[in-house]
Every structure is written in C-alpha cells, then in structure tokens.
Amino acid sequence: MRPFTYERAASPADAARAASRQPGARFIAGGTNLLDLMKLQIETPAHLIDVNRLGLDRIEPTPEGGLRIGALVRNTDLAADARVRHDYGVLARALLAGASGQLRNKATTAGNLLQRTRCPYFYDTAQPCNKRQPGSGCAAIGGVTRQLAVIGASEACIATHPSDMAVAMRALDAVVETVRADGATRRIPIAEFHRLPGETPHVETALEAGELITAVTLPPPLGGHHAYRKVRDRASYAFALVSVAAVVQRDGSGRVALGGVAHRPWRVEAAEAELPRGAKRAMAAILDGARPTHENAFKLTLAERTLASVLAEARG
C-alpha cells in the first residue's frame, strides 16, 4: 500500500466535510473491497475517513410502512433480520448468495452498493482500463469476455456490476439517502444511483465528491413470491454469470432485475408487462438491444432459463 492519513469521523456531516477538504479521500467501513484494491494499488487514497462509529447501523420501520436500513448495517445482520426475511425475501436471499460468511459479517449496506467491478482487466494493472485509468483504453474489448456485460456497455467499458444485494434493491425500488459536506441531504432512487459507462466508466454512481450514504429505504412490502436465483461457476464465493431477482404473483405479473449482465443492476420496467406471457417473451424485451460477444452470448439463453425457473416456482 501507499502511505495514507487516517481519521475517525464524529458525525455523517463531519465525514462528508472531511472528504471535501481532502482531495483523494475515501470513506472506509468494512473495507472488504477497498482494502483489496489498495493492496493492489488500484485504489490509492491519500486519506481514509473511518465511518464505523456514526451510529448508522440500525434497521428501523418508516412511517410509510417500509424499512430504513442504516448504511453501516452488516450484510449478515440485514439478511437475518426477521422483517427482511418475512417481507423482503428477495433481499435476504440475495445477501446470502454473496461472498462468504466471514465477508458478510464485515461488509456493509453502503459498501455493497459501491462495490467496484471484478472485471479481470480492471484488476490487472499491466492492462489498459478506462475504469481504473480514464482514457487508457479497454483491454476487455477483444479480450476474454465470458464474465462481462451483454447489454448497457459502451466502446469504453464492458464491465459488470458485482453486487447481489443491489440487484434485489433494484427490484424493490429502494431509495439511497445521503448527506453532503454542507449538511444537505438528498434521496436518490436506486434506478438513478448506478450509472451506465458511456465515455466515463470511472464515474460509477450519482454520488458527488464527498457525499456519504447514510441509509437505504425500502418501500412497503410487496406481496407475491420472492426469489433470487444466482447462476455461477461454483456453488459459493463466486460472482454471478447471471442472476435474477424477482417478485412475482401467481399470474406471472411482477418485477424482475438482472445481475451479471450489465454495468449496473439491469431492470426494464416497461418489459415487465410481458412476464405473464412467459420467460421467453419477457427476457426478449428485458434484453432488447443486447450486444454480447461470442464468449458470453450464452448469457442470453441462461437468463431466459433462469427466469423461466423462477416463474414456474412462483406459479406453484
């Protein structure tokens, strides 16, 4: 690692102010992604701001009947919460499909949303990568692409977003709450939180410099069958080739978000009207405009079959 300075923030606004004062500062909580990237010198923050003591580790009901999940709630605690298991089963299942038990004990809600891609070219500092070094090029294009995006990519980046939790949050229409350096707060719908790569794949979210996530809010519970189906190369500790987060009624109507196929959790609300007509029709609409490579075109069929399995299960 390169040398860095360190401080503990006293409040969320204090943390945001500290980040705005220090160019290159990063927040750290569980550190399950950031520390690995620092060891490889992919991330080289000059200053770390520890946010672990800010009291953002509670799960509380909202006046509207939903749940407010603090940014520092650990993945293990969130998956085990009785309200989450009962009312937001898709989220509990997605969390338990991610990483390992040890990592879930440390990883936080905010950190999970902010995970950086596991594209092998992003991790190989000998290769050009626009996400790691803007303007250097994308070695993945024309390279090994089996794990990479089939839709929503660009000429600058074909990486995928790695989070399981974020896919479930997208299906649930979660809202991300933040605080800025001036103390102002805002609410960002999850649909607007993660960005597509375009020409700036290093800009991954809608967060401004120094802006701190304080919570994620879930709307009132959705009835129906909650499912998270993750298809991967091995049974655990592997990222998704394709994942399907779904909340489906017996007639087939519902919501579907995909992981492993795009630069962000992929959901096309307009296509969900096709769900009662079957997985083939629905997935054709959800993945309309896909541009797979010869190595990852199988993801289109895999996504359709995974959705078909979820729909069959929902119909009993």
pLDDT of residue 305: 98
Among positive and negative, which fits the CA dihedral 106, 117, 194, 5? positive
pLDDT of residue 179: 98
Residues of the chain with pLDDT under 50: none
pTM above 0.95, yes or no: yes
Among positive and negative, which fits the CA dihedral 14, 59, 63, 215? positive
* 183-205 tens-digit pLDDT: 999 999 999 999 999 999 999 99
Q: Which amino acid is at 186?
A: R
Query: What are the structure tokens assigned to 67, written together?
Result: 């749940």
What's the burial of 180, exposed, middle or buried (CB within 10 Å: 0-12/13-18/19+)?
buried
pLDDT of residue 234: 92
3-class state of residue 254 by DSSP: strand
* 213-238 tens-digit pLDDT: 999 999 999 999 999 999 999 988 89
Q: Which amino acid is at 31?
A: G
CB 171 within 8 A of CB 245: yes
Query: Which positions ≥6 away from 237 have C-beta within 8 Å?
Result: 99, 100
pLDDT of residue 316: 79
pLDDT of residue 315: 85
Residues 74 and 106: their CA atoms lie apart, in Å, by 6
Residue located via tokens 């969390």:
95
Question: At 175, which helix (H) or strand (E)?
Answer: strand 175-179
